[in-house]
Amino acid sequence: MTSSLPGGERPVLRFAPSPNGLLHLGHALCALTNRSFADRMGGRLLLRIEDIDITRCRPEFEQAIHDDLAWLGMRFDGAVRRQSEHVESYAAALCRLRGQDVVYPCFCSRQQIRRAVAAGSTAPERAWPHDPDGAPLYPGTCRSLASDTVRARIAAGEPHVLRLAMDRAGPEPAYVAFDDAGATRRVAVAPGRWGDVVLARREIPTSYHLSVVIDDALQGVTHVVRGRDLEAATDIHVVLQRLLGLPTPLYHFHRLLLDEGGEKLAKSRGSRTLADLRAGGVTAGDIRALLGFA
Ligand code: GLU
């Protein structure tokens, strides 16, 4: 059926796991939710491997993603896109942002940032602002360094990251979110709550935010379906889309699965993996039924 879900042209959706650990039930929920929306809309579902973080991604985790998804009975359309094969696209986008003067080199180490934050929050009423993920906002130390200072420090080989100057990123845009029944609502974004996010670093010359925006556009993604844990980050993505002249897809944020302690499932917390469940005799049908996709 092509339902009353929003969107004109043939919808394109994507499931975009990162091979930095094994998939858990939360990933299965995301993949199955994407498939369900794609089928209801008569759309295509792409698989993208988000493997830019060379410090954490491993080939065996990538293989496990393919094995787990095949076991789950997931079908994808078109070729798999691996982000590590497209670094030149992210570099070109960064170059464009630099040309717009909305990106600046930041030479602060983590320790320097911690010290600046501690110095700025000595009294409780001066509590330092934190971003939606709980990290203290960047204090802005390098935001307005003189250009000859920046040139000299780069020429001297000082390590640095590239940050987005949020206050130079223009008026705050909005995006459209859709729910399960296809109802849409306009969401005003508040990217300032993230501060000057890092868009590239030396060991990884891009970032999740930059790559996801470029890839969604290059792959013609019209509907992004992902967990609520990425809802706030969408503010940054919409800002980048506007700066780079890219279309903004429609967004849907699905529920998160919680563990017994009420925490969202996470690779870093050692949540039970699909591979564990499979080894314990759970079937793909059991997983679908458990998640409401019987
Ligand atoms: N690669 C991200 C993750 O595994 C998902 C990114 C997205 O859906 O935008 O959490």
Say how far apart CA 121 and CA 127 lie, in whole Å: 5
- pLDDT tens digits, one per residue of 182-193: 999 999 999 999
Please tell me the distance between residue 270's alpha carbon and the centre of ligand 1 in angstroms: 18
* Mean pLDDT value across residues 146-162: 97
Query: Is the per-residue pLDDT at 1 higher than 70?
Result: no
Please tell me the distance between residue 9's alpha carbon and the centre of ligand 1 in angstroms: 24
- 3-state helix, strand, coil split of the chain in percent (to 5) is 40, 15, 45
- pLDDT tens digits, one per residue of 245-264: 999 999 999 999 998 888 88
Bridge partners for 198 per DSSP:
163
Ligand 1 binding pocket includes 18 (Cβ within 6 Å):
yes
Ligand 1 binding pocket includes 256 (Cβ within 6 Å):
no
Ligand 1 binding pocket includes 248 (Cβ within 6 Å):
no
Say how far apart CA 74 and CA 59 lie, in whole Å: 20
Amino acid at 49: I
Ligand 1 atom nearest residue 17's Cα: 4
- pLDDT tens digits, one per residue of 42-79: 999 999 999 999 999 999 999 999 999 999 999 999 99
- Look at residue 93 in the predicted model and tell me its pLDDT: 98
Ligand 1 binding pocket includes 16 (Cβ within 6 Å):
yes
The overall average pLDDT reported for the chain is 94
| Four-residue CA torsion sign, 165, 168, 172, 173 | negative
* Mean pLDDT value across residues 107-116: 94
Per-residue confidence band for 284, with pLDDT thresholds at 50, 70 and 90: very high
Picking from 71, 193, 56, the residue whose alpha carbon sits closest to that of residue 132 is 193
What SS3 string covers 89-129?
HHHHHHHHHHHCCCEEEECCCHHHHHHHHHHHCCCHHHCCC
Ligand 1 binding pocket includes 223 (Cβ within 6 Å):
no
Read off the tokens for 162.
Answer: 């590239």
Ligand 1 binding pocket includes 26 (Cβ within 6 Å):
no
Report all structural domains of the chain as residue ranges with CATH numbers, in order of start: 1-84+258-294 (3.40.50.620), 86-208 (3.90.800.10)
- Look at residue 269 in the predicted model and tell me its pLDDT: 80
- Look at residue 122 in the predicted model and tell me its pLDDT: 73
Ligand 1 binding pocket includes 64 (Cβ within 6 Å):
no
Say how far apart CA 229 and CA 231 lie, in whole Å: 6
Closest Cα to atom 4 of ligand 1: 17
